[in-house]
Chains A and B, each alone.
Chain A
Amino acid sequence: MRYFRIFFLQLQHAIEARSLSVVWFLTSLTTPLLMLIFWSGATAAAGGRIFSWSYSNFATYYLFIALASSMLTAHIEEDVAFEDINKGNLSQYILKPFPYYTSKFLLELPWRLFQGSLAISGIVIVALFFKNLVSVTSSPIILLLAIVIAILAFILSFTFKMILGLLAFWFTEISGVMNVNEIIFSIASGTLIPLEFFPNNLRTLFEILPFSYMIYYPIIAFLGKLNTTSLLQVILMQLLWIFIFSLVYKFTWAKGRKTFTAVGL
């Protein structure tokens, strides 16, 4: 019950600060829109299709990128690094009778749900105006598995970003690490271009790395580009990465907490 209370309190805060959420949503929408404008010219120059991708496919893909960036990608690392560890706010979490991970998860979730709802509203409006532009799978089983993949993608992203934030225990200035992560993430997660467009060896690498399971696979699962076997494989890979990251998180938290010092409370 107390977890629900924390969740709803934070949801109230997210709704109260809705202007921030709207700006974040617009920020995550801008890059996919620019990509979409670029591909409109590129597909026209290539005779209507690139690698079996039509403009309509690109439109759906990048609209879902905006949705996934708003809803599935956690942005907790700055909060953990700068507010909690650097400024010392971690003290208040250590004193609370529930795990730090759970507290941060319940603080992050409402923001993702609120910004995700903005993105869904945007996609619904686009789908209403341009009937053939947005196409999602109609199979209930695939849709169900896609929802599972989306939930796991958020947990995966969240755990990874928590680890990234915890690096501030050892490096007081981690904005460089965050930027490097963002660059790798943009390429390897399929945010910039779909993984199909990469050379085979790079694509194989990106299929092993966790980033594609946070953005690319949830999207193509909803688009119906994967069969049931492939969807189950994706879920298995996500569970494997969540397990690995959980171990890394536990290790980082246990070691890092011992290095933490705060004054003034």
Chain B
Amino acid sequence: MRYLNLFITLIKISFSRILIYRGNFASHATSSVGWGIFSVISIMLLTSKTPVVFGWSRNELILLTVLMNVIFGVYRSFIDANFWRFSQIIHYGDLDIVLLKPVDSQFQMSLWIFDLSSLLRFLFASIFAVYLIIIFHIPVSFVSILFFFILSTASIILLYSITFILLTLTIWFTRLSNLIDLINTVTNASRYPKEMFEHLTTFVFFILLPIVIIISTPVKALFQKGSLSDSILLLAFAFVFFSISRVFWKFALRFYASASG
């Protein structure tokens, strides 16, 4: 309850910040929506010469990308902005301040600032997704929508956990300020269907597996094409990776050497 109150207060502060720095908000909102539009245009360009790729039709791939924007819109709004300052906090020794506060340090590193401009991306993508579902005549039911929401939540937890685990490495490699760029580029693999990666070597496929199921699994559930095994795998990965992120962060803190590191 205490953390929920804190979370709400932090969101209120973010809203106040929007009102103070309106130009920044407009700029971030433009670029966030712009990246969303770009992802849709890019998949339309990529599929312009081939109607079916990896068993997914062009329409399904476009909808997959739009729904990716719905999920990423939430992730970018509430979590991602914190990760852009992660390495800076550690590199400049500001983690001292985080550790001194009577609030869980992982919470502070993950849910302290919000980029509410990305909520516009979520909003536009949601409206566009509903429009596409109607014009593409994709059958959805109440149950499939419910599964989509449950699995999308697991996807966000999994995406968060993978990113957090990798960023925790900056406790040791403090100069890797650009690690978040690499992680965000790699996690972009999630916007493609899982089947695209199945013909890679088994080793590479298993490394990429937690990432490639992030978007395609909830989307398949929405299309009523999902398999039970994929859904269980996503839920299990979300649970396991989140637990690892907690343990690994606490372990890594033992090696934190403040500004002298």
Contact = CB atoms under 8 A, between A and B. Distances in A.
Contacts of B41: 187
Interface in B162-179: 173, 175-179
A26 B50 CA distance: 29
Helix, strand, loop or mixed for chain A's interface? helix
Interface string A176-196: 111110010011000011000
A175 B31 contact: yes
Given A173-B23, A176-B27, A179-B35, A19 B46 contact: no
A95 interface: no
A26 to B, nearest CB: 6
Nearest to A16: B175
A26 B184 CA distance: 12
Contacts of A45: 50, 52-54
B34 A183 contact: yes
A34 B46 contact: no
Interface residues of A, number: 36
A37 B185 contact: no
B66 to A, nearest CB: 17
A38 B45 contact: no
A42 B51 CA distance: 9
B235 to A, nearest CB: 26
A193 B23 CA distance: 33
B70 to A, nearest CB: 19
Given A23-B182, A176-B30, A192-B46, 8 more contacts: A30-B189, A37-B196, A38-B192, A41-B196, A42-B53, A45-B54, A50-B49, A179-B34
Interface of B: 21, 23-24, 26-28, 30-31, 34-35, 37-38, 41-42, 45-50, 52-54, 173, 175-179, 181-182, 185-186, 188-189, 192, 196-197, 199-200
